[in-house]
Amino acid sequence: MALVNGSTLGAQTLAGSDEQVRAGVNVSDAAQMENNFIDLMVAQIRNQDPTKPVDSTEFLNQFAAMSQVKSLENMTNLSQSNLVLLDNLQTLAAAGLVGQQVKVGADSVTLDGRAVSGQLTLQHAAGSTLLRLTDGNGVTREVELGGRAPGSLSFSLDPQALGLSPGTYRIEAVTDSGEYPSVELQGEVTHVRVGSEGPVLDVAGIGSVPFYTLTEFGRGATGSLL
């Protein structure tokens, strides 16, 4: 009896180890579904009515459908891997911008006494182009840039010359032709951190901006802007 009990205990131990190994294997839902389908198909073949056998093409169609499910799962896994790779590449690219000048589409600017450069792109000629700066108290200050032809218009804001106190201002551009061109501000990237929506850059004079809001960057591109 002792031998029988020992054999039984050994079998139970092996069975338990096998279950632990299976539990440790990460089997996908599609793979598990495919295994279940094959088990059911084999059981159906064994228990079918010999006088009315199931058409073999039906099994093939069902198995083909299961193969498509598996292929779709593989494509999904591949897409997820590609997204992770692209996110890592974007983070590396953002980290390489530390210490460089970039341009960012912005609707606010943080003034700390230093001059801030920027650019507008006019689609139409304007006899008058101005920047509106509104502080936290709602006080607006307009900076006249004069008449301009269509194209790029660079500008520089000197807070001391304009008498602007340090702080954050809402900034917008207006022309007498009724155009409201987007404002692009230029600043140096001080450091980069990774957020839930991707890399976030701290740009001097602008603040924290997502990587995708950059409109221009790179040594070759920014060299002509200084």
Domains of the chain, with CATH numbers? 101-222 (2.60.40.4070)
Q: What is the pLDDT of residues 38-66, one digit of tens each?
A: 777 777 777 776 777 666 677 667 777 77
Evaluate if residue 183 carries a pLDDT over 80.
yes
Tell me if 37 sits within 8 A of 66, measured CB to CB: yes
Evaluate if residue 81 carries a pLDDT over 70.
yes
Query: β-pairing, 101-105 with 214-217?
Result: antiparallel
Evaluate if residue 23 carries a pLDDT over 60.
no
75-79 own/partner pairs: CB under 8 Å, 24+ apart: none
Cα separations in angstroms, 17 against 9, 12, 22, 28, 32: 12, 9, 9, 21, 20
Please report the pLDDT score of residue 34 as a whole number. Answer: 66
Average pLDDT of the segment spanning 13-33: 49
- Hey, which bits of 30-182 come out as E strands? 101-105, 108-111, 116-122, 129-134, 140-144, 151-157, 167-175
Evaluate if residue 225 carries a pLDDT over 70.
no
Phi, psi of 186 (to 5 degrees): -115, 135
Q: What gap in Å lies between CA 206 and CA 204, rounded to an integer?
A: 5
Average pLDDT of the segment spanning 182-188: 89
Please report the pLDDT score of residue 46 as a whole number. Answer: 76
Evaluate if residue 221 carries a pLDDT over 70.
no
- Chain-centroid distance of CA 170 in Å reads 26
The alpha carbons of the chain give a radius of gyration, in whole angstroms, of 33
Q: What is the mean pLDDT of the chain?
A: 76
- Hey, which bits of 136-178 come out as E strands? 140-144, 151-157, 167-175
- Lookup: tokens for 173: 């551009």
Evaluate if residue 90 carries a pLDDT over 70.
yes
Cα separations in angstroms, 20 against 6, 11, 17, 111, 142: 21, 14, 5, 63, 73
Confidence of residue 22 (pLDDT cuts 50, 70, 90): very low
71-77 own/partner pairs: CB under 8 Å, 24+ apart: 72/30, 73/28, 73/29, 73/30
Please report the pLDDT score of residue 29 as a whole number. Answer: 58
% of the chain with per-residue pLDDT over 70: 76
Q: What is the pLDDT of residues 98-157, one digit of tens each?
A: 888 889 888 888 888 888 889 998 998 888 999 999 998 999 999 999 888 899 888 988
pTM of the predicted protein model:
0.54
